[in-house]
Amino acid sequence: MKNKRMHLMAGVLAICLVDAAQAADKNLVEQTFAKAWRGASGIDYVKPSGDDVDAMRGLFTRLLKGERGEEINSHLKQLGWNLRTQSSGNATWTVLTEAENKRSGRGLFAIASRGRHALQAPHVPSDGLTGDILLRYAADGLPRALAWNTLPRSKIDLAHSDGTYFIAFSQAYTDVFPNDKVIQVHGFEGSRRRTRAGEQSGAIISATHRNPSRELHTAVDCLKQRLDPNTRLYGKDVSELGGTTNSIARTLRRDGYEGFIHVELSLPLREALHADAQKRQALFECLGGLQ
């Protein structure tokens, strides 16, 4: 009996060590993303007050400028947020997650010490793989900032709601990096499109209005060559999925910022981006004007 107990304990220890090793293999961004979705079905969205959103915009701005310290941590904790940092590759990541007892679907945010542009995935998990694609970008070390929703779209649609931390984060980002892009990633099903052009698209790129800039025309031409020949530009090649009611784009445009890019991806292209670092780089460089 004693030997059996010892074998059992050894087995449990081995499992724990494997679990610990697997956790160690995941970087901070991956760990917090997974944790942010645990038990999400039992969480309801609570709209933050305007004062809290304004306060958080100020804190986002300071963090994006590189400020850290106990004073900022104290303010974040008062607003129900935890801050963690970790060096990964050539960057240090700062990740903001809701405190466990303050979870209300306000989002998950990550800031790198280097890189360009901000990527957003506001419709996890309904826009399949978009959240994971952002995780792959974090591992690639390309973006400066990332943002995800942490409750399903049926509970809160952060791309079409006002007074959100997503908007505050976007405003802070464009205040600090006005020449960067804010790239919001979505997914669509070709079979549900109402036009042939939409159905046959691999990607639909939009400035969220019908008069895209020459720069965005150039970006789409780049994507046709480097990523998918069926990339289309909203307002020129296709008349749907343009994100024209997007609350983040509307707010940033009102502030005078014109660098918001709305990206709709077919499932085959999402799968390709998830699997292929070169394709991710092509999307990032074409949209970011770095080609």
Which of 146, 121, 136, 151 lies closest to 262, judged by CA?
121
Cis previous bond, 125, omega within 30 = yes
Measure Cα distances from 278 to 202, 237, 264 in Å: 17, 26, 19
DSSP letter, residue 256: T
Mean pLDDT value across the chain:
91
Domains for the chain: give ranges and CATH numbers.
27-288 (3.40.630)
| pLDDT tops 50 at residue 22 | no
Average pLDDT over residues 84-113: 95
Measure the CA angle with vertex 99, ends 177 and 107; round to 5°: 45
For 221-269, how does the pLDDT look when each residue is reduced to its tens digit (9 = 90+)? Answer: 999 999 999 999 999 999 999 999 999 999 999 999 999 999 999 999 9
Q: CA–CA separation, 95 vs 83, rounded Å?
A: 6
Q: Per-residue pLDDT for 20 more than 70? A: no
pLDDT in tens, 125-176: 999 999 999 999 999 999 999 999 999 999 999 999 999 999 999 999 999 9
pLDDT tens for residues 210-224?
999 999 999 999 999
Q: For 23-35, how does the pLDDT look when each residue is reduced to its tens digit (9 = 90+)?
A: 445 689 999 999 9
